[in-house]
Chains A and B, each alone.
Chain A
Amino acid sequence: MNGDGSLERLRREGRIVVVGASLAGLRAAETLRDKGFAGSLTMIGDEPYEPYDRPPLSKQVLLGMAPADSTALPRRRAVDATWRLGVPATGLDMAARRVRLADGDEVPYDRLLIATGVRARPWPREAEAELDGVFVLRTREEGAALARRLADGPKRVFVIGAGFTGSEIASACRERGLSVTVAERGAAPLVGALGGVVGAVAADLQREHGVDLRCGVMVTSLEGDSSGRVRAAHLSDGSTVETDVVVVSLGATRNTEWLAGSGLGAGPRGIACDAGCRAFDIRGIVTDDIYVAGDVARSPHALFGYQFLSLEHWGNAVAQAEIAAHNMISESADRLPHMWVPAFWSSQFGVNIKSVGVPSLGTEIMVPQGTLASRRFIGVYGYQGRVIGAVAFDHARWLPFYQELVETTAPFPPPFPTVDRHPDGQRPMDADFPDPSVPTHGPTVTLSGYSPADRRMTFTPAH
């Protein structure tokens, strides 16, 4: 591309298509214009709304402080785009450089950014998922529907899954004075992200706020009444919980189905891309014209052994979108790597939880500041003798210091004396993460052919 003027032409009159009109897509579009892209920009979104913010849906919206349709994202600048909203992309032709839409239209591109994000994983039994009163929470419409039902004052809300979203939903319900039961398969809430030591604190927090928390159980079935309304949930320990609202909070599924068969390295775990956000095809070859950003991306991170991380974090969507946009219209020597240090927040039961780094990679934890018992503390996670992550419970102002320890791969346990000399801060303990060796059902790639000339690669999606 160097020297032949093609990059200049792209910047002046090229066609950039962004699939996914949420946080990452919008910030990428703004960055493209900021950096002088003057060609045509098309934004494709499956929801019929302009880009809106999702974190308030499980907080302000469920608390009744803000309507679900009031979270449209503020704009940094005008993007002068053609918006195709309410029309999902259904296919990609990499050779012809075209995106197919559900209405049959095809949109040609010179550069493509994929930011299709994730959706809430539905309750796996379809008939039960369709019962009146069974909800998931990811989109504006789902948030509006759940908020409406909570405002009606249900007798009991039953939350399946005590990750961050499930815990925030339970928190909002309790704040509204609703009875809540939470069922979690793991040993404690938040255990997958923060481990058992911090999970135990989260469990105490829930129970103290009146949540009927059941851990180590699975929901075996949801039962409806004759009019199709949910009335009870049956658990693996044999118990039954009567409920009129069920919120399924079992994490997210990546929106990559539309890329099946396209040849792009996309599957249930996301779309693999390099540190510069360029997508890989299924052969492991990086593409020149397709970029990925946000929740749907998986990219190697230098700080974490170049492992491919997919981060469902608000801040990651913004940072990765900015990097992808920059790289889309830059010479290869001017491209930037996406090296954002993972960070997220959650607010539940009156506690501000924030994290930096990747706690779930840690094997040990220590509490250098505050105490677990007071629910005000910093937990530092260690992995193979280095600091890999940290979590703060109502201790956010200290977190930048620990982020620096992660960024500089500081030794673990940290060599400085701990700030508060509480007994549980003195030495590391097992962070107690669940066994990662649970079976997964990821996609595979199979090879066929004998000579290099007819050697073929076939992508086999998970069922």
Chain B
Amino acid sequence: MVRLVVDLNRCQGYAQCAFLAPEVFVMHGEEGLLYNPEAEEAQREKLAQASAACPVQAILVDAMDAPAEAVSGER
């Protein structure tokens, strides 16, 4: 799975992401954006394109290919 987050303070609804990765991003209303915060691995390439194409650079995709470093309650 690929994690992503959109800085919706930056997002201005240009909808480039919704064209490039429609399985992940959908416009909701006239300029609102909804996205799936955890996309299928198969979407990684499209996500990279969407992130690069965003005019306000609001999309952050997980920087790590592997799952984020192990996290546990242990010391």
The complex places the Cα of A78 from the Cα of B5 at a distance, in Å, of 17
Known contacts A85-B72, A350-B30; is-contact A396 B38 (Cβ 8 Å): no
Cβ of A113 to closest chain B Cβ, rounded Å = 18
Interchain CB contact under 8 A, B38 and A72: yes
Given A56-B37, A74-B63, A352-B13, check contact A396 B31 (CB 8 Å): yes
Is the pair B73, A83 in contact by a Cβ cutoff of 8 Å? yes
Contacts A55-B8, A75-B68 hold; do A60 and B29 have CB atoms under 8 A apart? no
Contact A394 B31, beta carbon cutoff 8 Å:
yes
Q: Is the CB of B32 within 8 A of A60?
A: no
Contact of B36 among A55, A65, A73 (CB under 8 A): A65
* Distance of A144 from chain B, by nearest CB (Å): 14
* Minimum Cβ distance to chain A for residue B21 (Å): 15
Give min CB distance, A401 to chain B, whole Å.
12
B38, A70: Cβ atoms under 8 Å? yes
Near B by CB (< 8 A), chain A positions 338-381 give: 343-345, 347, 350-352, 354, 376
CB–CB A75/B9 < 8 A: no
Q: Mark A65-87, 1 if CB is under 8 A from B, else 0.
A: 11000111111111110111111
- Docked Cα-Cα span, A80 to B69, in Å, equals 8
Chain A residues within an 8 Å CB radius of B75: 82, 84
**How far does the Cβ of B60 sit from chain A's closest Cβ, in whole Å?**
5
Q: Which residue of B lies closest to A319 (CB)?
A: B9
In the complex, are the beta carbons of A60 and B12 less than 8 A apart?
A: no
Nearest Cβ distance between residue A253 and chain B, in whole angstroms?
25
Q: Which residues of A contact B31 (CB under 8 A)?
A: 352, 394, 396-397
Q: In the complex, how many angstroms separate the beta carbon of A455 from the nearest chain B beta carbon?
A: 42
Question: Which residue on chain A has the smallest CB distance to residue B2?
Answer: A74
Which residues of B in the span 7-58 have a Cβ within 8 Å of any Cβ on A? 7-9, 11-13, 28-32, 34-38
Contact of B72 among A83, A350, A351, A352 (CB under 8 A): A83
Complex interface: chain B residues within 8 A of A315 (CB): 7, 9
Residues of B contacting A83 with CB < 8 Å? 71-73
Query: For residue B64, which residues in chain A have a CB less than 8 angstroms away from its CB?
Result: 75, 77-78
Q: Is A50's CB within 8 Å of the partner chain B?
A: yes
Q: B29, B68, B71 — which one has the most chain A CB atoms within 10 A of its CB?
A: B71
Of A76, A84, A347, A394, which one neighbours B63 at CB under 8 angstroms? A76
Q: Which B residues are CB-close (under 8 A) to A76?
A: 60, 63
Question: Considering only CB atoms, which chain B residue lies closest to A392 in the complex?
Answer: B31
A79 pairs with B69, CB closer than 8 A: yes
Q: Which residues of the other chain, A, contact B1 by a CB distance below 8 angstroms?
A: 70
Closest Cβ of chain A to B13, distance in Å, is: 6
Contacts of A70 in B (CB 8 A): 1, 36-38
Q: Which residues of A contact B (CB under 8 A)?
A: 48, 50, 53, 55-56, 59-60, 63, 65-66, 70-80, 82-87, 314-315, 318, 343-345, 347, 350-352, 354, 376, 394, 396-397
What are 8 A-B interface contacts by the 8 Å CB criterion?
A: A48-B73, A53-B5, A70-B36, A72-B38, A75-B64, A352-B31, A354-B9, A394-B29
Given contacts A70-B1, A77-B64, 8 further A-B contacts (CB under 8 A): A74-B3, A75-B68, A83-B71, A345-B9, A394-B29, A394-B31, A396-B11, A396-B13
